[in-house]
Amino acid sequence: MLNKSPYLIFSIAGVIGISFWIGFNVNLLPTEASINAPIYDELFKILFIIGLILFIGMTILVVYSLFKFRKREGQIGDGIALEGNLKLEIIWTVIPSIIVLIVGLYSYNIYDRMGGMNELNHDHSVMGNNSEKIWAGISQKDSNDVGLMDTNIEVSAMQFAFLFNYPNGNFISGELHVPVDQKISVKMESKDVIHAFWIPEFRIKQDIIPGQPTILNFTPTKVGKYPIICAELCGPYHGGMRASIIVEEQSDYENWFNQNKKDQVKV
């Protein structure tokens, strides 16, 4: 057993090293386009590396065992039965428990840094002035506020589309336009069943629930056009329920807004 230890240590170190290298050099996620994205990606990287260590380690162990413990010529039966190995059982209980605990604490930290534990700003204009109860997803930390934009956008979800209402401009758009580097707060309502508003490039997702308005805060950091995807199975055409968010410079956003805005109809 002792003379095998250096090989074992070398193999484990090799698997961990390769996993870290892949984890830091292979990017499986789309571009990072909001302030939440880099925070979320830290956690993803750690989970990816843990998954790689398990996958590569187990694959090597299975392939090694196939050759090492194969049936030899003239061999009859499976050999002596083994029962229990306290040392091994303690190791395979303690190590995963520590890993799960660390991942749990780290996830909490990430959720907190993304603003998940923050109370919403109840004075914000999108809340309206009535006492309607609004549930919310991720809020934003004050330190992340690069600017406060009174965008006042309402998202309506229905089978099978998203509509974006800009009450300040008195118009409805099929595309969500927002200015870059501004804190955006959208109020979301469903006309029928449960939908979910997901922007993979922003790493945020929030359910849209009938009879229960929700709020989602985000700050886009990269100009571009990104998909908005319904991430809740909402009916036969759920797969086609998509829209686009267009993140643009402040002046471009204002141009677009002014081109679309309609004068209020006076009554």
In whole angstroms, the minimum distance from the beta carbon of 219 to Cu ion comes to 25
Binding site for Cu ion (CB under 5 A): 195, 230, 234, 241
232 within 8 A of 207, measured Cβ to Cβ: yes
**Short-list 192, 178, 169, CA closest to 241:** 192
Q: Give 15 or 157: the residue with its C-beta nearer to Cu ion.
A: 157
Q: Which is nearer to Cu ion, 204 or 241 (CB)?
A: 241
- The nearer residue to Cu ion, 56 or 158, going by C-beta atoms, is 158
- Minimum CB separation of residue 176 from Cu ion in Å reads 15
Q: Which residues contact 221 (CB under 8 A, 6 or more apart)?
A: 32, 33, 34, 35, 37, 180, 181
Shortest distance, position 196 Cβ to Cu ion, whole Å: 7
We find the least distance from the C-beta atom of residue 234 to Cu ion, in angstroms, to be: 3
Beta bridge partners of 214: 135, 188
Cβ-based nearer residue to Cu ion, 144 or 156: 156
Q: How far is the CB of 163 from Cu ion (least distance, A)?
A: 12
> Which residues of 192-233 form beta strands (DSSP E)?
195-199, 204-208, 214-218, 224-230
Q: Is 171 helix (H, G, I), strand (E, B) or coil?
A: strand
Please say whether the dihedral angle defined by the alpha carbons of residues 88, 94, 97 and 102, taken in this order, is positive or negative. negative
Q: Which residue lies nearer to Cu ion by CB, 127 or 230?
A: 230
Residue 13 DSSP class:
H
What's the min distance (Å) between Cβ of 136 and Cu ion? Answer: 20
Q: Decide whether 30 or 210 has the Cβ nearer to Cu ion.
A: 210
Question: Reduced to 3 DSSP states, what percent helix, strand and coil does the chain have, rounded to the nearest 5?
Answer: 40, 25, 35
153 phi, psi to nearest 5 deg: -115, 135
User: CB-wise, 150 or 192, nearer to Cu ion?
Assistant: 192
C-alpha 19/C-alpha 7 separation (Å) is 18
Least distance CB 243 / Cu ion (angstroms) = 11
Alpha helices by DSSP H, listed for 69-180, are 86-113
Q: How far apart are the first and last CA of the chain?
A: 90
CB of 130 to Cu ion, least distance (A): 27
Amino acid (one-letter) located at 135 = W
Cis peptide bond N-terminal to 162, omega within 30: no
Residue 114 or 209: the one with the smaller Cβ distance to Cu ion is: 209
